[in-house]
Amino acid sequence: MNADILNIGQAAEASGISAKMIRHYESEGLVPPASRTFSGYRIYNHRDVHMLRFIKHSRDLGFSIKQIGDLLSLWRDQNRPSSKVKSLATEHIQMLDRKIHELSAMKSELTRLVSCCHGDTRPDCPILDNLAQDN
């Protein structure tokens, strides 16, 4: 009926965030407490869903809950300096970069080891030898 009055399941569907997580974000204070029906069901409107989608998109970019809290504040603040948003995002890029480099280092060492291993029925294995190495 009224497309602007949703329960938590519909809000979850519309935002891409599970009902479970919507409740969790509320309990953590990331989103304000939803209003309730007489019987206690949470209800959401178009604006709420819009905020949830903002959160979803931010999560998809790897921002932490705390960072998303900051992003939401900036989003709401009509007088924000865009420099604050930019520096927050830049910091996050650096964190992503650190992680990418960590994982890439693991991958390349492991790839090297794997390429040395025959991978047959015999027990000799350069991978295990390397792991067991005292270096």
The residue from 2, 39, 115, 133 that contacts DNA (CB under 7 A) is 39
x/- track of binding to a copy of itself for residues 47-86 (CB under 8 A): ---x--xx--xx-xxx--------x--xx-xxxxxxx-xx
Question: Are the C-beta atoms of residues 49 and 14 closer than 8 Å to each other?
Answer: yes
Q: What is the CA radius of gyration of the chain?
A: 23
Establish how many alpha carbons lie within 13 A of residue 17's alpha carbon, considering only the half-sphere containing its beta carbon: 24
Does 32 interact with a copy of itself (rule: CB under 8 A)? no
Sign of CA dihedral 46, 47, 53, 56: negative
Choices 19-27, 80-88, 93-101, 108-116 (CB under 7 A): range interacting with DNA = 19-27
Closest alpha carbon to 5 in 39, 49, 56: 49
- Alpha-carbon distance of 59 to 89, in angstroms, equals 13
Does 111 interact with a copy of itself (rule: CB under 8 A)? yes
CB of 122 to DNA, least distance (A): 29
Q: What are phi and psi of 42, to 5 degrees?
A: -70, 145
Does 3 interact with a copy of itself (rule: CB under 8 A)? no
Interacting residues toward a copy of itself by CB under 8 A: 50, 53-54, 57-58, 60-62, 71, 74-75, 77-83, 85-87, 89-90, 92-93, 96-97, 99-100, 103-104, 106-107, 109-111, 113-114, 117-125, 127-128, 130-134
